[in-house]
Amino acid sequence: MDIFFEFLKTTGFFNMTVGNAVMILIGIVFIGLAIIKHYEPLLLLPIGFGMIVGNIPTIASMALGVYDEGSLTMGEDGIRYSPGSILSYLYYGVSQGVYPPLIFLGIGAMTDFSTMLSNPKLVLLGAAAQIGIFLTLLGALALGFSPAQAGAIGIIGGADGPTAIFLSSRLAPELLGAIAIAAYSYMALVPVIQPPIMYLFTTREERLIRMAPPRVVTQWEKIIFPIAAFLICTLIAPGSLVLLGMLFFGNLMKESMVTERLANTARTALIDIVTILLGFAVGASTEAQTFLRPQSLMIFGLGALSFAVATAGGVVFAKLMNVFLTEKINPLVGAAGVSAVPDSARVVQMVGQQEDPHNYLLMHAMAPNVAGVIGSAVAAGVLWSVLGG
């Protein structure tokens, strides 16, 4: 009987805290949002299940959680290696920033830069939307976060999950779980967050603007672009080398048409495998003891602000550009500068078609959308080099 009672003390029911229960409930909500509402199911489902896994209370002597890493101990019989938990090895790819560049490789192999090449002025909208990152940095500093932590929180405004994970693993690993969950949650909520801001900053006449169809881009232009863009960006901000290197390498594999097998693997099997591992490991890192803190709530608040400011920044800059342009651009397109590929471009299309069902903005919105990916990676490189010392 004593053995039975001893066993009972080791069960999850006995060791469950209110925090664990809350996190498991949040995990179930994430899974529900993915399955019922179809909000970013590829991300929310692995993260949601990972949250449940990460919040099952375990015994201290058993290495099961993501933070139970392997260690070397000095004993009488020499140095002994205690292996870490399986989850800690999966989490290694997150904590050491291995997964984000691999995801960028896949994104590069599936991205078509044609719309950006055919209408280069839309690239600037991808730069303007990065204002969300830098204003949130200021907000985070004012709320008492250290400069490195503030930089990691600010990158949520880049609306790019892999970039957010990469930068926070470099600058503030202690906030990685909260930042990753905030970034992916808001990416899933792009269709909810962006439209009110887009309506607030545009008039009906502006939303009705039709844009000229993009010109045809030659295959050689598409091949030259990733090499040139990589050189430009990384010579300016070498900190973005890993992310942009993989992004443009993936794109070159696709556009060169001589490595179709490699490009196909990068945009299908590889990105899928890494997404599963990344989502699950990030979810499992949200143990209540490390996640449920006032800091995490502030990160969520700052993340929402960051998204809103980034969206407004893109829209307002598009309006500003229209002052100087003869061929006007629809300011809604500016909202796609926050990256969140391709959801924010879809939102632009949706809002545009609510005013004029025959106005097709999707192709135009893809230009600032992919420029936003480049812009947020450059911003991450800048923040890493300035704050990472």
Partner 1 sequence: MNIRLYILATFNLDAIGEANGISIAVMGMLIVFCALGLIFIFIGCLPRLMVYLEPWLPEMESHAPAPEESLPLDRDKIIVAIATALKQRQRHN
- Shortest Cβ 31–partner 1 spacing (Å): 26
- Shortest Cβ 13–partner 1 spacing (Å): 29
**150 Cβ partners below 8 Å, 6+ apart?**
136, 137, 138, 140, 141, 387
Q: What is the DSSP letter of 130?
A: T
Cα gap 121→372, rounded to integer Å: 13
Residues that bind partner 1 (CB under 8 A): 116-117, 120-121, 123-124, 126-127, 130-131, 133-135, 137-138, 141-144, 146-147, 150-151, 218-221, 223-225, 228-229, 232-233, 236-237, 257, 294, 297-298, 371, 374-375, 378-379, 382-383, 386-387
**25 Cβ partners below 8 Å, 6+ apart?**
none
**44 Cβ partners below 8 Å, 6+ apart?**
30, 31, 33, 34, 184, 188, 279
- Shortest Cβ 116–partner 1 spacing (Å): 7
CB closer to partner 1 out of 156 and 278: 156
Helix (H) / strand (E) element for 46: namely helix 41-54
For the four alpha carbons of 36, 42, 46 and 47, in that order, the dihedral sign comes to negative
- Shortest Cβ 108–partner 1 spacing (Å): 15
Task: Of 94, 171, 236, give the one whose Cα is nearest residue 244.
Answer: 236
- Shortest Cβ 284–partner 1 spacing (Å): 26
Exposure b/e, 10-19, CB count within 10 A at least 16 = b: eeeeeeeeeb
CB closer to partner 1 out of 24 and 367: 367
- Shortest Cβ 120–partner 1 spacing (Å): 4
Decide if 114 contacts 217 (C-beta within 8 A).
Answer: yes
CB closer to partner 1 out of 140 and 278: 140
CB closer to partner 1 out of 233 and 277: 233
- Shortest Cβ 125–partner 1 spacing (Å): 9
Cα gap 264→250, rounded to integer Å: 10
- Shortest Cβ 20–partner 1 spacing (Å): 20
For the four alpha carbons of 111, 176, 42 and 260, in that order, the dihedral sign comes to positive
- Shortest Cβ 37–partner 1 spacing (Å): 27
CB closer to partner 1 out of 196 and 213: 213
Peptide bond into 57 cis (omega under 30): no
- What is the phi/psi pair of residue 215, to 5°? -75, 165
Q: State whether residue 82 is helix, strand or coil.
A: strand
**Count of beta carbons in the 10 Å neighbourhood of residue 272:** 12
- Go through the chain and tell me how many residues it has: 389
